[in-house]
Amino acid sequence: MEFRATRRLLHLGVFVGLAVLVALLEGTWIPSAALIPLMGVLLVAFLEVILPLPITLRRQIDPPGNLLIGDEATVEVRSRPAPLPMNLVIDDGIPEGLAVVPGSREAFEASARGVAVARYKVKPRRRGEYDIVDATVRRVSMLGLFERSETLPGATHVIVLPAGAKQLGVKVRPRPPVRTSEMSRSLRAGAGDEFYALREYLPGDPLGNVNWKATARMNRIITNEFQPQEPPRYLLYVDTRATTAEVGEADAFERTLELAAILVEALIEARAHVGLVLLSFHSVFLVPSPGANQLRRLRQLIIDAQPGQDAPLMDLVHAGVAHLPARADAILLTANAYDPTLAQAVTFLRARHGRCNVLFPGFPEPSGKTLDAAAQRAAGVLLNTEQSTVLAGLAPYADVAAQWPPGEPILMTLGRLGMAGRTR
């Protein structure tokens, strides 16, 4: 606990000293009589500040659950006991990834059973996991003359996610994975909609599958057998090398992860099997799988992602696919358009998976004195116009190579990939 006199009390002391000095010089104490009410104010202020401070603290965040970048959340702080709550002030330990909305702080107000309630709004700025740490509660007396403070323990865990598909109103239209001849030989026949082979009729086979031309030719009942229906499968290769997180281009790294978060959520909601590969020196991956549990695991990977070590993109891709299934569409997300092995990496992914799209997250270009073009190139990321040139050069290698420019709705970008569905 800390008790201190504020600067206002010092100013008041100077005023009292001047009044006493004037009284001594004039030889009369009449001017000092005006100080009697002032001494009463000082006494009331002192008695007010020694009232009990809150000893418990509880926070509640609305909306509950995970926060999304750009959204506003209301933090409600409840503390007790709290006589005269209007003179209480709370200083919460706000982490760097959250920012208090200017002008949103509300003073403590009395609630039921001696509980004081204060509110303020925060806006997440960066994805990650944060703790709103111990709070300092201050009681400021009348006229701000005295102040007493107490630190109350109580950390509140906050998870900040990149803006997701639901927030942006995005739906996608996934496609079945491409079948190559090598993949087709490994498939087993079953009920589906793509022809697989002819075979003799067995009891229980649907009569609608009987091939009457083959039956007439072979003088026995022949039925069609079909390939099993397969759900769409996607593997997102996300470039998380350190060159996308240099001082000059910190936003490029975050924008790449934001793009990954949108695609992951939209594809999972469309009942696709989705996997994720974070490409750095030590690649982290999840094999494709559907459902809410997979979405939670994918989000956690994105939340925990940190800039990794640098290496040629081709080496990272080659090392990252060793334990991943081939039957999945590949989508490569990278802001490293300058990488000389980019075309090789795309060719490799397309040969392995049958289909490979490339997405470049564009970013606001420097202006004025903040960062010139040469410094931005030195930071490891090409300008948006230069990215467009690289995209054109990838046309012979990728199925589709597209850029997500700043300010463009992500649905338009997905439309160029042939993945856009209807909006909500």
Helices 35-49/7-26 angle, 10° precision: 160
Q: Which two tokens stand for residue 198?
A: 């002819």
d(CA 305, CA 284): 9
Give the residue from 127, 118, 120, 119 showing the smallest Cα distance to 66.
Answer: 127
- Does some domain include residue 183? no
Residue 339: phi and psi, rounded to 5, are -60, 125
- Does some domain include residue 394? yes
Give the residue from 132, 12, 111, 9 showing the smallest Cα distance to 61.
Answer: 132
C-beta neighbour count of 152 within 10 angstroms: 17
Q: Domain of 110?
A: 1-161
Q: Are residues 11 and 156 in the same domain?
A: yes
Q: Are residues 316 and 334 in the same domain?
A: yes
Q: For residue 336, give Cα distances in angstroms to 170, 279, 280, 360.
A: 25, 12, 12, 8
- Does some domain include residue 182? no
- Residue 183, pLDDT score: 41
Q: Are residues 289 and 384 in the same domain?
A: yes
- Residue 116, pLDDT score: 81
d(CA 52, CA 80): 9
d(CA 325, CA 105): 52
Q: Are residues 114 and 244 in the same domain?
A: no
Burial of 181 (0-12, 13-18, 19+ CB in 10 A): exposed
Q: Are residues 128 and 214 in the same domain?
A: no
d(CA 94, CA 72): 14
Helices 292-304/250-269 angle, 10° precision: 180
pTM (two decimals): 0.66
d(CA 171, CA 165): 7
d(CA 302, CA 127): 8
- Residue 293, pLDDT score: 92
- Does some domain include residue 109? yes
Q: Are residues 238 and 146 in the same domain?
A: no
Q: Are residues 220 and 239 in the same domain?
A: no
d(CA 396, CA 347): 9
- Structural domain count, the chain: 3
- Does some domain include residue 181? no
- Residue 249, pLDDT score: 44
- Does some domain include residue 26? yes
Report the CATH number that the domain containing residue 389 is assigned in CATH.
Answer: 3.40.50
Q: Are residues 297 and 355 in the same domain?
A: yes
**Sign of the torsion angle spanned by Cα atoms 289, 294, 299, 304:** negative
Q: Are residues 245 and 218 in the same domain?
A: no
Residues in Cβ contact with 340 at an 8 Å cutoff, skipping those fewer than 6 apart? 312
Q: Are residues 294 and 371 in the same domain?
A: yes
Cis before 174 (ω within 30) = no
Q: Are residues 240 and 95 in the same domain?
A: no
Report the CATH number that the domain containing residue 39 is assigned in CATH.
Answer: 2.60.40.10
Give the residue from 45, 44, 25, 22 showing the smallest Cα distance to 34.
Answer: 22
Q: Are residues 22 and 95 in the same domain?
A: yes
Cis before 63 (ω within 30) = yes
Taking a C-beta distance cutoff of 8 angstroms, is the pair 249, 334 a contact?
Answer: no
Taking a C-beta distance cutoff of 8 angstroms, is the pair 1, 134 a contact?
Answer: no
Q: Which two tokens stand for residue 190?
A: 């079953």
Question: DSSP string of 117-166?
Answer: EEEEEEEE-S-EEEEEEEEEEEEE-GGG-EEEEEEE---EEEEEE---HH
* The residue to which tokens 């975050």 are assigned: 254
- Does some domain include residue 108? yes
Taking a C-beta distance cutoff of 8 angstroms, is the pair 315, 343 a contact?
Answer: no
Q: Which residues pair with 277 in a beta bridge?
A: 237, 285
- Does some domain include residue 67? yes
**What stretches in the chain show pLDDT beneath 70?**
1-16, 19-20, 22-24, 26-36, 38-41, 44-49, 82, 112, 142, 144, 176-194, 196, 227-229, 242-251, 281-283, 320, 322, 363-387, 420-424
